């Protein structure tokens, strides 16, 4: 890396809601990959998901900001409005190009799950992603991820019980959510029978 170059990681997802699994993963990735900054990128709608999110884009953005503030990460972590302010669906190559253009002094990393890593051929303009990005590939629950020729990747094992689906369905457990996010969910009656 050239002198002065920052290691910047993008972490995209629906974050419906953001939970401590997301946050603990970012903390581990930051330490393991010596990241200088992480930008959370909530998507408007994934091209691979038919259903809309339960919380609105503004609510998901607010929950992310609350979570980062509660962790005290304001000096190195932030939330981007790039995808939620665009018409859906959200394509990763457009996001990568945006940050490549706006962060010219950064080496771009992208945090993905092993399942997404194995499906990169389905992503739009995947060749651009191969050229522009270093990937941080997260394996969990015994999942496997295989190196891809000519793609740059660091593999990271991570386990956490939190599940956004379970939280949305009222099956979340105590400790899965940052306190400020749990309060926000309750105040806005976002999900049924929230614990």
Q: What is the CATH number of the domain that holds 120?
A: 3.40.50.620
Query: Which tokens hold the place of 108?
Result: 């771009």
pLDDT tens string 180-189: 999 999 999 9
Q: Is residue 195 part of a domain?
A: no
Domain presence at residue 194: no
Report the alpha-carbon distance of residue 10 to residue 163 in Å, rounded: 20
Residue 25 lies in a domain: yes
Q: Quick one: tokens of 171?
A: 């099956």
pLDDT tens digit string along 122-166?
999 999 999 999 999 999 877 889 999 999 999 999 999 999 999
Chain segment 13-60, per-residue pLDDT in tens: 999 999 999 999 999 999 999 999 999 999 986 555 555 668 999 999
The CB-side HSE value for 7 (13 A sphere, CA atoms) comes to 13
- Reference 9, options 158, 135, 102, 98; nearest CA is 135
Q: How far is the C-alpha of 144 from the C-alpha of 138, rounded, in Å?
A: 9
For 161, the 3-state DSSP assignment is coil
């Amino acid at each position: 890396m050239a002198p002065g170059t920052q290691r910047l990681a993008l972490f995209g997802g629906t974050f419906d809601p953001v939970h401590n699994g997301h946050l603990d993963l970012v903390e581990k990735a930051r330490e393991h990959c010596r990241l200088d900054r992480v930008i959370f990128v909530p998507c408007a709608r994934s091209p691979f998901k038919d259903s809309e999110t339960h919380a609105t884009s503004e609510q998901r953005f607010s929950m992310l900001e609350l979570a980062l503030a509660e962790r005290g990460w304001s000096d190195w972590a932030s939330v981007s409005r790039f995808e939620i302010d665009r018409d859906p669906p959200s394509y990763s190559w457009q996001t990568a190009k945006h940050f490549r253009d706006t962060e010219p002094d950064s080496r771009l990393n992208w945090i993905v799950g092993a399942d997404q890593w194995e499906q990169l051929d389905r992503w739009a303009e995947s060749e651009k992603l191969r050229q522009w990005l270093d990937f941080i590939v997260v394996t969990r629950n015994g999942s496997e991820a295989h190196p891809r020729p000519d793609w740059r990747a660091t593999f990271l094992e991570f386990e956490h019980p939190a599940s956004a689906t379970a939280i949305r369905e009222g099956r979340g457990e105590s400790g899965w959510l940052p306190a400020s996010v749990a309060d926000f969910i309750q105040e806005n009656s976002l999900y049924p029978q929230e614990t």
